[in-house]
Chains A and B, each alone.
Chain A
Amino acid sequence: MTMLPKALPGAKRLGLVIDLDTCVGCHACAVSCKEWNSGGEAGPLPDYDRQGPKPDGVWFNRVHSYEADGQGCSRTVNLPRSCLHCDDALCVTVCPTGASYKRAEDGIVLIDPEICIGCKLCSWACPYGAREFDEEAGVMRKCTLCVDRIYDRNLPEAEREPACVAACPTRARHFGDLADPESRVSKLVASRGGKDLLEELGYRPTNKYLPPRTATIAAEPCKPAAGAAGGLGTALLKLVDRALSR
């Protein structure tokens, strides 16, 4: 069913909050995602030309690094990019088969690989490039928000979070219910000014990104040591400098 579900009262909006201030771009989330989803319910995730000159494969999470200019000095911003589980998910409504769907109960966007015909239209509809085609199975693939982990009662409760969140060594990734204003992730978004990516395109993504903090350590400009200005020593140094500059 590719109509977007009507928002149920009290329904969850599960998603990720990613802190661009603390993400160090280590790719642990991407690797952990690949590992979990190659073996989990969504697996296998194919790889092509593994040992050849052009290795390639399906990943649900890709980590980009950018150089951003700010206040006179540039800084590195690392951006893990995956499905944002949008409220206005065009990837769902364009699907001709009903394989691509958004769950009413928690907002997770999923693909049913048994129904997908591999027309690729959903990947064209996603401005975030979050969907990748599985050339071996002939169907589209995407992030499942580890739906096979987060509800797994066999796992200890603390481990019922997406693999990418569990793997993050800097705790830059947070998982929770963004429909609940009292949840930890919602409070984080409110306090840090969490942003939608490509807000102007109007997809209303669930996942939020916390912008890098502006630098708070303002270094005092260097002051010349007392007594160093003027005097015989300075005159001598100037003389040496002039002689050497000739």
Chain B
Amino acid sequence: MSSAPPLSVSGLDIGRGPIAFEVGPGGVLAVLGDNGSGKSLLLAHLSGHLRVPKGSVKVGGRELRAALSDVGVVFQHTGLIRNMTVFENIALPFLVHGLDLDGVVEEKVRLRMRLVGCAHLENEEVHRLSEGDKRCVALARALSGPTRLLIADEPVAALAPAKKALVEELLASLVRTGVLTGIVLATQDLDFARRIATHFLILHPGGHTLISRGDAARNEHYLTFASRAS
């Protein structure tokens, strides 16, 4: 078992000065900030969709480029493949990693659908789904394959309260049990972030601020202010 942190970022510059932080084992980092503050841009760099211009991003001690298969991504616009069903979308990472669609994989896919509460949507084409259901399916797909680190852009946006609670409990249990080594999520939902995150990274025009959960209570005023009005 590697002792390297699940995610280690140093000197990453996305136009707001160099950013450095680590997500330790079982850590959940909530990236907060106003619209257009660069949350999605940061996540695009952390998930390998944009090349890191300066600095380094390491996943489990390896350079991001070499560890992309360990990273599951929930995209801001979900990125579900429109011509495929819910089942096919979630099965895709398994099939890509050399597995045939046999009973074992089918069971894995169905397990993920049950975990995110979309088992009843198995044969639906994704373009027919509501925004909230799309987000759940995108999460299930991100958890397929050999995912160890989850990068999620607004994972609970547009979710009904019951679904939001389900997803929150799922994410918390996945890091608690070690299925995921860490989570980085961008959100506008401060209450959700407070409940799940171990650290907060607040992006604002002047740069960024990193606060741990222990400091959050002390910085409550700042956390609320900075994430909503930055």
Q: Do A and B bind each other?
A: no
Chain B residues close to A by CB (< 8 Å):
none
Chain A residues close to B by CB (< 8 Å):
none
